[in-house]
Structure 1
């Protein structure tokens, strides 16, 4: 049964996001978010885990927004290849930057994890800073798409 529900979800995603740059922008953000949670799940210190999972959850809230933006961009400038549509290129750049900043956040969390495991104090501000950059990137993409319509 899970096979068919996964197949239906894939078809719906293809219908909404296409198979081009917007699908890849969404998938890249989702993979980066998955990586954040993979790194957080490996943390053994409960206090550190609780602080970082809160930040990770705040970034996870952005995934539906990213999907909506990518779906809207697909409606405005359909894409089924690697060519970035000129009209929405700024929005694509912001969404790509958001995914890259999110992946960098996963790296920062991994370094914090290593520090915590070594018994060194950690500073959660670096993660908060990266999370803020991701939010700003998504917000910028939304503004760019709104001006493209």
Structure 2
């Protein structure tokens, strides 16, 4: 039954996001979310785990917004290749920055995990993870605003 759901999901993605730059922007963001959540696996310190889970959940809440931006951009300027539609370059740039910042947040979470294991919760560097997560939110907001200006 799982493979049927995957096929339906892939078809829905093809229909809503196409197979060009908007699909890749969305997929890149979801891969960043997956990486962030993978960092959480195996954290033994409950306080650190709970703090990172809160940030991870906040970032996961952005995924529908990213999907909506990518789907909206695909409706306005469909893409089947690697060329970024010139009129929507700001949208793509903001999505790319958000995905990049998400990867940096996942990396910061991994470092926080290591520091927390070595030195304890107070030295885990959660402020850096939260700061990078805020940058992701800013990037998604910028993408939404850029798309709204065009629409």
Q: What is the TM-score of this pair, normalised by structure 2? A: 0.96
- Aligned equivalent of 1:142, options 119, 141, 144: 144
Structure 2: give runs of 5+ residues left out of the alignment. none
CA–CA distance in structure 1, aligned partners of residues 148 and 119 of structure 2: 47
Structure 1: give runs of 5+ residues left out of the alignment. none
Q: Give 1:33 deviation, angstroms.
A: 0.5
* Residue in 1 that maps onto 2:117: 117
Q: Give 1:21 deviation, angstroms.
A: 0.2
* Residue in 1 that maps onto 2:9: 9
* Residue in 1 that maps onto 2:101: 101
CA–CA distance in structure 1, aligned partners of residues 6 and 125 of structure 2: 39
CA–CA distance in structure 1, aligned partners of residues 56 and 116 of structure 2: 17
Q: Give 1:42 deviation, angstroms.
A: 2.6
Pairing 1:59-78 to 2, within 5 Å after superposition: 59-78=59-78
User: Which SS does the other structure have where 1:118 is aligned?
Assistant: helix
Structure 1, 58-67 or 39-48: larger mean CA deviation:
39-48
RMSD after superposition: 0.8
User: Which SS does the other structure have where 2:89 is aligned?
Assistant: helix
Q: Moved runs in structure 1, 4+ residues, more than 2 A?
A: none
Structure 2 residue 20 is matched with structure 1 residue 37: no
CA–CA distance in structure 1, aligned partners of residues 133 and 102 of structure 2: 7
